[in-house]
Amino acid sequence: MSPSTRLGSGISRYRAVVAALFTVAASLYVAFVSIPPLVVIVAVIAVVYSVASAFDTVRTHPLYNLASAVFAALLFGLWYVASNTDGLFLLALTVLSAFGVAVEAYNYRHGTSYLRLDF
């Protein structure tokens, strides 16, 4: 089974399985572990993003790359705020993600793909 195998109506089978497993794992973690509300928000954002990414119409939308960059910046930023440690690494990831948002906003506006890693 290749990752691009379709489930029928424009849903990637591989991404749907990963999204379902991630949703179950995140739900169980949030339900049974005492965590701050900010971490719950991070988990909800991650679940919504992973479920939405299973749909081909979402991934082929012109704003998908920009939304992915915003998701990463939000995830790292909220994770940095929620952590009680001196998260210099998380701060660096947040700054790099914010740079990625700026790059993707430029790419979207000008129809280019500068600094994008396409696999």
Residue 47 confidence (pLDDT): 94
The whole-number pLDDT of residue 119 equals 62
For the chain, residues with pLDDT lower than 70 are 1-8, 119
pLDDT at position 7: 54
What pLDDT sits at residue 6? 52
How buried is 19 (Cβ within 10 angstroms: 0-12 exposed, 13-18 middle, 19+ buried)? buried
Could you count the other beta carbons within 10 Å of the beta carbon of residue 16?
Answer: 17
* Model pLDDT, residue 21: 97
> pTM higher than 0.85, yes or no?
no
